[in-house]
Amino acid sequence: MAVEQLEFTSEDIILKGHLRGAAAGQRRAALAITGPFAGVKEQVAGVYAERLAAAGFVTLAFDHRGFGESGGRPAHEDVQGKLADLRAAVGALAAHPAVDTERIGVLGVCLGGGYALRAAAEDPRVRAVAGIAGGYNSPAFFARDPDAYRATLAALIGRYDEHMPAVAPDGGEAAMSGEEPYSYYGNAEHWRNEVTRGSLHSLLTFDALGAAALLARTPLLVVHGRVDAYCSPELASAAYEAAPGPKRFEWIDCERHVDLYDQEPYVTQAAGAAAAFFAEYL
């Protein structure tokens, strides 16, 4: 499928994206797609963008500020900045002649699921939202041991601007330590194995779960693995239960979080569920 290079701005920062499925003389439903923590458009966001473009949608997978080919502070996970980037991506789709402005959705994978949820709650232009293996972060959930939570935040603030590896095998210090994330990351073009320590502070204080209750007019799809060591199935269920509008939940019988990134048959199952959901609601 042809891939169009799309450049747009978010708060004066240049973002780079890949547009798929745009056809001259047609206006189609469109999806802005956001991926995992520290991810780039050539990784899992691009996998789902390609699948959903093949299903008939215009899709935009893009690099958030600080990552991949986009501008901004390098390797820093900026929660409010990434939400601004999603608003800009929705705006870029709305301005494209191949897009029906009344039929725009957002899909997020891993941490992108949490961003997608919050973006949909804050932007009425988003008519439907889906999270796949989503990270529906909740400071209240993370702070069930308040002393440990505060100590972690204090340590991160003290070294906020320092860089650390994004992934490392078991035993190595990293934002995502362990063989599972290490097995996935590292081979994509434009991806760098680094994030700021402040990125982890941003994630631990980001309330994605609280946005679910605001989706009274926005249909929600949650696709999640029954076993997931990195993005809690408990929080996925909580996000689904809190959403008051039309909603759908699809459990996938995979064994690892990253199985929903690029492993079969799980990606086909998740992409198929998303395509059917967006076809109904967009």
Residues 16-41 pLDDT 10s: 999 999 998 899 999 999 999 999 99
**3-class SS of residue 180:** helix
Is pLDDT of 79 > 80? Answer: yes
Q: Beta strands 167-168 and 195-196: pairing type?
A: unpaired
Cβ(101)–Cβ(60) under 8 Å? Answer: no
Please identify which residue in the block is written with the tokens 């070294």.
159
What average pLDDT does this structure show over 97-125?
98
Rg, Å, the chain Cα set: 17
Question: Could you tell me which residues are beta bridge partners of residue 185?
Answer: none
Distance (Å, rounded) from C-alpha 239 to C-alpha 235?
6
pLDDT at 183: 86
**How many CB atoms sit inside 10 A of residue 183's CB?**
12
pLDDT at 186: 67
What average pLDDT does this structure show over 228-244?
96
Start-to-end C-alpha separation, the chain: 22
pLDDT at 172: 80
Query: Smallest Cα–Cα separation from 222: which of 208, 201, 202, 205?
Result: 208
Instruction: Give the CATH H-level superfamily of domain 3-138+207-281.
Output: Alpha/Beta hydrolase fold, catalytic domain (3.40.50.1820)
Is pLDDT of 66 > 90? Answer: yes
pLDDT at 198: 97
pLDDT at 169: 86
What average pLDDT does this structure show over 38-52?
96
Q: Where are the alpha helices (DSSP H) in the chain?
A: 44-54, 79-94, 111-122, 139-142, 146-158, 179-184, 197-205, 233-242, 259-262, 266-281
Distance (Å, rounded) from C-alpha 51 to C-alpha 205?
32
Distance (Å, rounded) from C-alpha 206 to C-alpha 184?
24
Query: Smallest Cα–Cα separation from 99: which of 28, 153, 166?
Result: 28
pLDDT at 263: 95
Distance (Å, rounded) from C-alpha 206 to C-alpha 94?
27
Cβ(245)–Cβ(217) under 8 Å? Answer: yes
Is pLDDT of 188 > 80? Answer: no
What average pLDDT does this structure show over 229-257?
96
User: For residue 19, is it left (φ>0), alpha (ψ between -120 and 50) or beta?
Assistant: beta
**pTM of the model as a whole:** 0.96
- pLDDT class for 56, splitting at 50, 70, 90? very high
What average pLDDT does this structure show over 192-212?
97
